[in-house]
A and B are shown apart, each in its own frame.
Chain A
Amino acid sequence: MFGYYLELAIRSLKRSPGLTALMVLAIGFGVAASMTSWSVFRAVSGDPIPWKSSQLFVPQIDTWGPNGRSADGDPPNAMDYTDAVALMRDHRAKLQSAMYEISPSIVPADAAKHPINVSGHAVYSEFFPMLDVPFKYGTGWSARDDQNRAQVVVINSKLNQKLFGGANSVGKSINLERQDYRVVGVLNDWNPQPRFYDVVNSGGFSTEGDAVFMPFQTAIQAAIPNDGNTNCNAVPKESGFVGLQHSSCVWIAYMAELDSASAVTAYRNYLNGYARDQQQAGRFSWAPNNRLRNLPAWLDSQHIVPSDTKVSLLVAFGLLLVCLVNTVGLLLAKFLRRSSEIGVRRALGAPRAAIYTQFLTEAGIVGAAGGVLGLLLTAVGVASVGWVLPKDIAALARLDVSLLLLTLLVAVIATMLAGLYPTYRASRVQPAWQLKSN
């Protein structure tokens, strides 16, 4: 029976090719616009570390007091050196790391070659196990290396390719800012988006992954300056990088792993206790006002998804909605034009259910055709999204099987929904009236 409906539907669609083409085009454009924006939105709002994000927390300490808070009362979104080092020393979480952005230059041994600049982060040893960072060769450094300010680095596979031709370089040394560092590990491809461990500096997204990681205190000792943002509520009293460390300027990111609800409560109490201690010591003249958000909440509070992306998504959904209203209208016209045909079929004994099946089949075919067109247009859209969006974000939009299936599914389901009312009207056609008027 379905085959018969299919044949009927195709015959009917062929009868008015203009109207059919119009519906297919509308569905195709509507679906493609929505799916293209969706692919971008999905990429920027995705969870960069889904298996662990609810256990990763970002503490915020109210170093600046009431005058330095944001409009909603939040303390600064980074830490000053004093707090970051104190939290690391107390070591109350299962795993934790303070970190800051660095951009050291690598001076090649060959004097004829130009020095190159690499970006990276100075972190603590627990950074690697905490974030499940994948290694190709070697491992991260040890807690001892942290304490001893060891001259070690972890490099990413791209830099390893550039400097060592991709070979296992563990144990070899590289020269950063005229000091030699021993490579202890080489990362596998790792460039999570958003760059969740330091969104304040990356704005969330960057096409280039970090190339170098070195122990935090080693970098401090070697005076490798902060390459990320520095925010101050007052001008530092002393000059230079050391002055920055003594100042209340915030420039250090911090992340801690807390595995259970009780660990979170304990850590929250610890932070409040720390702030009270600072208050008693006279460093803070205000009550504790800390924050401890898990990663998804933290990314949300930092508005990682650009509002342009959200607006585009909404506008694209709006377009789809208009396309569907349009389709409802056109299907209504198309179905009711065949009132006499429906009348004949009903008079010959077709139940309402049969009318429903017939017309929903027809709507489904329009939807499927629109979906196929939508697929093509989505592919074009995803490929050309770089024209209208910043590169870092556009590069994240991908065409994959799930997106393709979703495109088809949305097209067919949306069109069948659009076909419901016209079909209902068609099924209400009074056979007697139609037959009489003929």
Chain B
Amino acid sequence: MNMQIKPILIALRRHKAGTFLIALQIALTLAIVCNALFIIHQRLANLSERSGVDEANVFVIQNQWAGDRTQQQIDAQMQADVLALRQLPGVRDAAPISGGYPLRGGGWDNFVTMTPDQVKPTTDSAVYLGDEHLLDTLGLRLIAGRNFRSDEVHGMGTEQVIIPPVVIVSKALAERLFPDGSALGKSFYAMGSTPSTIIGIVDLLHRQGASQWDKAHAGQSLIWPARLDDVAGTFYVVRAKPGQLAAAMREAPKALYAQSRMRIIDPKDGIQDYAEIRHRVFDSDRGMAILMGIISAVLLAITAAGIVGLTSFWVGQRRKQIGVRRALGATRHDILSYFLTENLLIGIAGVAVGTVLAIGINLWMVTRFEMDRMSMAYVGVGVIVLLLLGQGSVLAPALRASRVSPVEATRSV
């Protein structure tokens, strides 16, 4: 092998342009494919993010009020509504939820501070409002403390300012605020002058959104015991008994309309199960992953085809020389390994440049598009894929070259 490298390099010097073009193509492909792979992997990770919700059985109703109602009327109506929902045969539990619901794609969040006059907030938390049925309805797992009692739940008017004295937080928020694990029983401030004391901690509760801001505060959520009597409307979450999701989703609006007709539940998207909710919130992530996948596949295919094309040309051009070598005693294997080695050398040059390019592009995207730093593993995978792709592509023309008969040396035309 070692013996062969020098003659290959000398030969390549006579094909500067072709060598340069293949190396350039490999470099560009590597740079793009690494970054695309990185984007795909990140987006797929988003898609599989866990919400903490019993997604197989839970659905959400967007209920808007029509006509005038006082806050008291809305509060009474909401209590009557959830009672009616809970009595449906296919329903395990139901609760009002405000501030949005997990994976809604946006909602209410508050800054959190440890003292009331702290200027720079400690962190940011998603805010959910619900009653003592919310934990069971969403299927959240309480890992410490207790649930709300019904006497802790109060009605709250639109934009009203009552900071409830008790709060249930997600484990992520508890650990962020009290890293020593002593969160239970401690209190914090969430943009108010009165503290909320942590009475319960749930294992996992996703925020409403999946944006960059949400990722920076991933999983940090709190639940306050309140019914938000918003004049615009409210969300109801309903947890069906296992296997009865479809039936419960059919019955729920009927039960609500039977309570009062003066409401609007959009027939198109007023009721959504978690499959739909998840699909919607991660729409663009899935799209980007697919798009990057397609582009990477096309890129690799074109690069492979390009290598096949150029190497075939070189083989065609050098038939005479190959014939001479064969006549002088070179084995088929020697010829084959000549072309494989040649391609490997070009490939190594290409991936070397490509690695620099790939990292450069990633660093530029970090500053320009708020992306994360790419781990070198992607570059490693990309390098191996491209070198193998090169060897695979060159195999067919190289085999053809190895079959050139020594007689060709004597044919001068």
A: residues with CB less than 8 A from B are 19, 22, 25-26, 29-30, 33, 67, 103, 105, 107, 111, 114-117, 177-178, 223, 225, 227, 230, 232, 234-241, 243-244, 247, 306-308, 310-312, 315-316, 318-319, 321-323, 325-326, 328-330, 332-334, 336-337, 387-391, 421, 425, 438
Is B305 part of the binding interface, using a Cβ–Cβ cutoff of 8 Å? yes
Is B313 part of the binding interface, using a Cβ–Cβ cutoff of 8 Å? yes
Do residues B67 and A105 form an inter-chain contact, with CB atoms below 8 A? yes
Do residues B161 and A235 form an inter-chain contact, with CB atoms below 8 A? yes
Do residues A177 and B302 form an inter-chain contact, with CB atoms below 8 A? no
Q: Which residues of A contact B305 (CB under 8 A)?
A: 22, 25-26, 326
Q: Would you give 9 A-B contacts (Cβ < 8 Å), ordered by A?
A: A103-B232, A115-B262, A117-B66, A227-B232, A310-B369, A321-B28, A322-B32, A329-B25, A333-B310
Q: Which residues of A contact B64 (CB under 8 A)?
A: 103, 105, 117
Q: Which residues of A contact B262 (CB under 8 A)?
A: 107, 115
Do residues A232 and B191 form an inter-chain contact, with CB atoms below 8 A? yes
Q: How far is the CB of A203 from chain B (nearest CB, A)?
A: 9
B: residues with CB less than 8 A from A are 17-18, 21-22, 24-25, 28-29, 31-32, 35-36, 39, 64-68, 119-120, 157-161, 163, 191-192, 230-232, 261-264, 266, 283-284, 286-288, 290-292, 295, 298-299, 302-303, 305-306, 309-310, 312-314, 316-317, 365, 369-370, 413
Which chain A residue has the least Cβ–Cβ distance from B39? A311
The CA of A421 and the CA of B191, in the complex, are separated in Å by: 66
Within 8 Å by CB of B67, from A22, A29, A107, A319, lies A107
Do residues A421 and B17 form an inter-chain contact, with CB atoms below 8 A? yes
A105-B65, A107-B66, A239-B157 are known contacts. Are A29 and B302 too (CB-CB below 8 A)?
yes
Q: Which residues of B contact A103 (CB under 8 A)?
A: 64, 232
Q: Which residues of B contact A391 (CB under 8 A)?
A: 283
Known contacts A238-B161, A322-B25, A329-B306, then 5 further A-B pairs from the complex at CB < 8 Å, ordered by chain A residue: A239-B159, A241-B158, A333-B313, A337-B317, A391-B283
Which chain B residue has the least Cβ–Cβ distance from A334? B313
Q: Which residues of B contact A316 (CB under 8 A)?
A: 295
Q: How far is the CB of A244 from chain B (nearest CB, A)?
A: 5
Do residues B295 and A319 form an inter-chain contact, with CB atoms below 8 A? yes
Do residues B313 and A311 form an inter-chain contact, with CB atoms below 8 A? no
The CA of A19 and the CA of B24, in the complex, are separated in Å by: 20
Listed from nearest, the 6 A-B pairs whose CB atoms lie closest are A115-B66, A333-B313, A388-B287, A239-B160, A329-B21, A326-B306
Within 8 Å by CB of A329, from B65, B67, B120, B309, lies B309
Within 8 Å by CB of A330, from B160, B284, B310, lies B310
Q: How far is the CB of A35 from chain B (nearest CB, A)?
A: 14
Within 8 Å by CB of A318, from B24, B32, B67, B232, lies B32
The CA of A114 and the CA of B17, in the complex, are separated in Å by: 73
Within 8 Å by CB of B17, from A312, A323, A390, A425, lies A425
Do residues B28 and A318 form an inter-chain contact, with CB atoms below 8 A? yes
Do residues B161 and A116 form an inter-chain contact, with CB atoms below 8 A? no
Q: Which residues of A contact B17 (CB under 8 A)?
A: 332, 421, 425
The CA of A239 and the CA of B71, in the complex, are separated in Å by: 11
Do residues B303 and A322 form an inter-chain contact, with CB atoms below 8 A? yes
Do residues B287 and A389 form an inter-chain contact, with CB atoms below 8 A? yes
The CA of A114 and the CA of B306, in the complex, are separated in Å by: 63
Q: Which residues of B contact A22 (CB under 8 A)?
A: 305-306, 309
Q: Which residues of B contact A425 (CB under 8 A)?
A: 17
Q: How far is the CB of A223 from chain B (nearest CB, A)?
A: 8
The CA of A389 and the CA of B298, in the complex, are separated in Å by: 19
Q: Which residues of A contact B22 (CB under 8 A)?
A: 329
Q: Which residues of B contact A333 (CB under 8 A)?
A: 18, 309-310, 312-314
The CA of A107 and the CA of B303, in the complex, are separated in Å by: 62
Do residues A389 and B284 form an inter-chain contact, with CB atoms below 8 A? yes
Do residues B264 and A326 form an inter-chain contact, with CB atoms below 8 A? no
Q: Which of the listed residues A114, A234, A333 has the most CB atoms from chain B within 10 Å of its own CB?
A: A333
A240-B158, A310-B369, A325-B21 are known contacts. Are A388 and B263 too (CB-CB below 8 A)?
no
Q: Which residues of B contact A241 (CB under 8 A)?
A: 158-159, 231
A117-B266, A326-B303 are known contacts. Are A388 and B290 too (CB-CB below 8 A)?
yes
The CA of A222 and the CA of B109, in the complex, are separated in Å by: 28
Q: Which residues of B contact A117 (CB under 8 A)?
A: 64, 66, 264, 266
Within 8 Å by CB of A390, from B287, B291, B302, lies B287
A67-B119, A307-B370, A312-B288 are known contacts. Are A178 and B191 too (CB-CB below 8 A)?
no
Which chain A residue has the least Cβ–Cβ distance from B163? A235
Do residues B263 and A115 form an inter-chain contact, with CB atoms below 8 A? yes
The CA of A114 and the CA of B284, in the complex, are separated in Å by: 34
Q: Which residues of B contact A30 (CB under 8 A)?
A: 302
Q: Which residues of A contact B25 (CB under 8 A)?
A: 322, 325-326, 329
Do residues B18 and A332 form an inter-chain contact, with CB atoms below 8 A? yes
The CA of A324 and the CA of B271, in the complex, are separated in Å by: 50
Which chain A residue has the least Cβ–Cβ distance from B71? A240
A239-B159, A243-B159 are known contacts. Are A322 and B299 too (CB-CB below 8 A)?
yes
Within 8 Å by CB of B309, from A235, A322, A330, lies A330
